[in-house]
Amino acid sequence: MKTTQDLHVHTHLSICAEPFATPEAYIEKALEIGLTSLGIADHLWDSAVPLDDHPWKGFYGEQNYAHTALSREEFAKIDTKGIRILFGAEGEYDPVNHGIGLTEEVCQKLDFLLIPNSHTHMMMPKDYYEPKQKHADFMLKAYFDIINCPLSGYITSIAHPFAAVACKPYPSGDLYPLISYNQYKEAFDAAKEKSIAFEINTSGLLKYTKDEIKSLPRLDVFRIAKECGCKFTFGSDAHQPESLESIRCADLLREILKLTDEDILTI
C-alpha cells in the first residue's frame, strides 16, 4: 500500500460509531492493512458554541471536546505497536454563525481538523431537499462560510466534499453536476489559497468494481480540485474497525486521479 495514513477514523466516542470501535481493535486492523498512521476524527462541537434548540443539538450535545479527548487517554493506555496516532476531529458547519462549531482554544489542541460542508441531513432545513438545486446551493454556501470563517486557518481538509451525506430522497452523488465548473473552480482556488485540502473518502467503495470506481461522479470534482493545485487527504470514515478496510481503495484512486506524492497531504 502506498497509502499509509487514514485521516478519518471514528472511535466508539462518536455516538454513531460501534461500541467495539476501540483503540485496540483499530491498531490490530491498521497493522493488518499496512497503515502506519491513524487520524482519530470523532464528531466534535465545542460546548462554548451555543447549540440552543437547533435540530443538531441532540447529536452534538454530548460530543464536546472533553468527551472526544477521552480517546487520548484510551490510546495512552495501550501499545500502539508503532502506529502513529493523530488526535483530530470531524468538526461541523455552523449555519447559524456562518462558521464552524468550534472555538480557537479547541482548534489549537487538535493535530488536524476535518470540516464537512455536506452533513446536510442534519444542518439543512428539510424543505431544501427539493428542488435539488436548492440543496446544492446550500452546500456551496456552507462551503464558502467554512472557507471564509475566522478559524479556517485551522482546517486541514474538507470531509467528503459535496457528497450529501445520508441523503434519503435521492443518491448523494446527484448533486455533483448541479454545481458548475466555474463554481467549483472558484471554491477550490479559495481553498488552495488557504492551504485547505480535500478528503477523498473511501467509505463504502469496496462494494464497487474498478470500472465503477473509475466512473464515480465525484472524481470529476476532484480533478477540478487537482487542476487548482489543491492537495488531498484519504479517509475511510470508519465507524468500526472492519471499515478501515476501505482505505485499500486509496491506491486505486491515486492511480485514477494521477495523484503524485506531492498531491497528498500527509500530516
- Pick out residues in 154-173 that bind Zn ion (CB under 5 A): 159
Looking at beta carbons, which residue is closest to Zn ion? 237
Yes or no: say if 138 and 128 are a contact pair by the CB < 8 Å rule. Answer: yes
Of 6, 42, 46, 90, the residue at the interface with Zn ion (CB under 5 A) is 90
- Piece in contact with Zn ion (CB under 5 A), picked from 131-139, 151-159, 181-189, 207-215: 151-159
Instruction: Using the minimum distance from each CB to Zn ion, give the nearer residue, 16 or 66.
Output: 16
CB of 260 to Zn ion, least distance (A): 26
Q: Tell me which long-range contacts 147-151 makes (C-beta under 8 A, separation of at least 24).
A: 147/187, 147/190, 147/191, 147/194, 147/196, 148/190, 149/98, 149/99, 149/100, 150/99, 150/104, 151/99, 151/100, 151/102, 151/103, 151/104, 151/107
Count CA atoms within 13 Å of residue 234 on its CB side. 28
CB of 203 to Zn ion, least distance (A): 8
Q: Burial, 213: exposed, middle or buried (Cβ in 10 Å; 0-12, 13-18, 19+)? A: middle
Instruction: Using the minimum distance from each CB to Zn ion, give the nearer residue, 11 or 22.
Output: 11
Q: Does residue number 92 form part of the binding site for Zn ion (CB under 5 A)?
A: no
Q: Does residue number 116 form part of the binding site for Zn ion (CB under 5 A)?
A: yes
CB of 82 to Zn ion, least distance (A): 25
* Residue ranges in contact with Zn ion by CB under 5 A: 90, 116, 159, 237
